[in-house]
Amino acid sequence: MRFYFPDSQDQISPQYDFIRDEYPYHRVRQRDDLYAHQAVNPAPYDGILISKAIVDGSARGAGKYSTPQRDRLYRNGVREFFGLPATMQSLGDCGAFNYIDEEYPPYTIEEVLDFYYECRFNSGISIDHVIFGYKPDVPECEADPAWVKRREISLDLAERFIEAVKGRNRLIPHAKDRLEPVGAAQGWSPDSYADSVARLQKMGYKRIALGGMVPLKTPEIIACLERISEVRKDGVQFHLLGITRVDSMERFVGYHVSSFDSTSAFRQAFMDERNNYHTADRSYMAIRVPQVDGNLTLKRLILAGVVSQSEAIKAERECLKLLRQYDEDESVEVQDVMDALRAYQTLLGDEKKLKKVDKYKKTLADRPWKYCPCDLCRKHKIEMVIFRGTERNKRRGFHNMTVLEAKMRKLSLT
């Protein structure tokens, strides 16, 4: 089972100063900063997924790449741009979520192929149109006409896509440099997904990406895979788009799912209310210590005269000092740190976050960072569980992916 990490230009600065909370003056982001596969060993994923919408933009607006970054990606190719190891694969897609409100995908076949071939991807997914809705017992004749139309658009584009790929591949002498076409299957039920897969196989696809399943519950995904298995041809493998269900991966493998992609473990580090720091058997809440000079809400309170800037700075520094002392000095008790954290949140007047302070006790008492073997936890220690700024939060996200990688590796060995 291969795990692809969807790129959104998430990097960390290896020389960031956590004590002063500042970058080195000579830092050049694209030259010096590291992706997760460069920051930890072993790499926490088997490949990266890059969306055209992220690079080139879409109907929703500009992409995540600056013009110089985009030009360099097209010029140097995926492998050199990201510094990918020889064993790591690249997968391209169109980023269908970025044009979900459009009546028709905004890209032509030729535009997508130019992206895939110029950037030299190993594999590329056909253009698709996401169907949001799941009605397992609804036949096509009774389904929402918009769903039926989106599925037919996806299948029509897939047929034109694979023929265009065959044409371009014939011009490339070495097989290793040719693009692997991946067909995108959409549906609203087990039967509609199975029909999409059957038609994609007839077109010649040997690898098929199953899209639109992110909102589905695991039993619903299993039901679709079971029905798809009835029409699957020998040698055809499946990719789950946006799905991370580690507890169900063994069952997915039984239905010939060979790869998946997701940002879930990474994003939980800073988007989840509770499960920010992952371990092999549980998750912990990260400890929030807002930056006085970087937190917009706190800045507004200071400017409005509700909070004293000097008091806020003093409380912030006390929290960080005690957290670090607790990590290094056994004489500092959990309660000492808890009292400082509670005092800081009381000063800020945020009742919701004040209630969370009690939940930090488990994180502090268990000290999970001390038992983690990943490179980042060994280097940064307690900083990894402090919810504060992009550098700590992204490192915690990279850590979470190492936990996911270890779980996937363990499954592959059993």
pLDDT digits (tens, 9 = 90+) for 381-408: 999 999 999 999 999 999 999 999 999 8
Check if the beta carbon of residue 138 is closer than 8 Å to that of residue 189: yes
**Where do you find CATH 3.20.20.105 in the chain?**
46-262
pLDDT confidence of 232, banded at 50, 70, 90?
A: very high
The pLDDT of residue 10 is above 90: yes
Task: Determine the pLDDT at residue 351.
Answer: 81
Residue 335 bridge partners (DSSP) = none
pLDDT digits (tens, 9 = 90+) for 352-381: 888 889 999 999 999 999 999 999 999 999
Nearest to residue 384, comparing CAs of 396, 375, 372? 396
Tell me if residue 181 falls in helix, strand or coil.
strand
Task: Determine the pLDDT at residue 53.
Answer: 94
Q: Around Cβ 247, how many Cβ atoms within 10 Å?
A: 9
The pLDDT of residue 6 is above 80: yes
Annotation marks residue 261 as catalytic: yes
The pLDDT of residue 411 is above 80: no
What distance separates the 2 farthest-apart alpha carbons in the chain? 71
Check if the beta carbon of residue 333 is closer than 8 Å to that of residue 318: no
Task: Determine the pLDDT at residue 354.
Answer: 87
Given 93, 128, 191, 336, which residue is catalytic? Answer: 93
CA–CA distance, 62 with 47 (Å, rounded to integer) = 25
pLDDT confidence of 325, banded at 50, 70, 90?
A: very high
Check if the beta carbon of residue 32 is closer than 8 Å to that of residue 15: yes
Task: Determine the pLDDT at residue 135.
Answer: 97
Task: Determine the pLDDT at residue 298.
Answer: 84
Q: What burial class does residue 358 get, using C-beta atoms within 10 Å of its C-beta: 0-12 exposed, 13-18 middle, 19+ buried?
A: exposed
The pLDDT of residue 203 is above 90: yes
The pLDDT of residue 413 is above 60: no
CA–CA distance, 275 with 282 (Å, rounded to integer) = 9
Q: Around Cβ 395, how many Cβ atoms within 10 Å?
A: 25
DSSP 88-137: -EEEEE--GGGGTTSSS-S--HHHHHHHHHHTT-SEEEPP--------TT
Provide the phi-psi class of 63: left if phi over 0, else alpha when psi is between -120 and 50, else beta. Answer: beta
CA–CA distance, 327 with 381 (Å, rounded to integer) = 8
Lowest mean pLDDT among 34-43, 190-199, 294-303, 315-324: 294-303
Contact partners, residue 248, CB within 8 Å, separation at least 6: 218, 221, 222
Mean pLDDT computed over every residue of the chain? 94
Q: What burial class does residue 212 get, using C-beta atoms within 10 Å of its C-beta: 0-12 exposed, 13-18 middle, 19+ buried?
A: buried
CA–CA distance, 109 with 115 (Å, rounded to integer) = 10
pLDDT confidence of 350, banded at 50, 70, 90?
A: confident
Annotation marks residue 293 as catalytic: no
CA–CA distance, 226 with 211 (Å, rounded to integer) = 16
CATH code of 46-262, in short, is: 3.20.20.105
pLDDT digits (tens, 9 = 90+) for 102-156: 999 999 999 999 999 999 999 999 999 999 899 999 999 999 999 999 999 999 9
pTM comes to 0.93
Percent of the chain scoring above 90 in pLDDT? 86
Q: Around Cβ 213, how many Cβ atoms within 10 Å?
A: 20
pLDDT digits (tens, 9 = 90+) for 51-71: 999 999 876 667 889 999 999
Given 10, 56, 195, 261, which residue is catalytic? Answer: 261
Task: Determine the pLDDT at residue 57.
Answer: 85
The pLDDT of residue 173 is above 90: yes
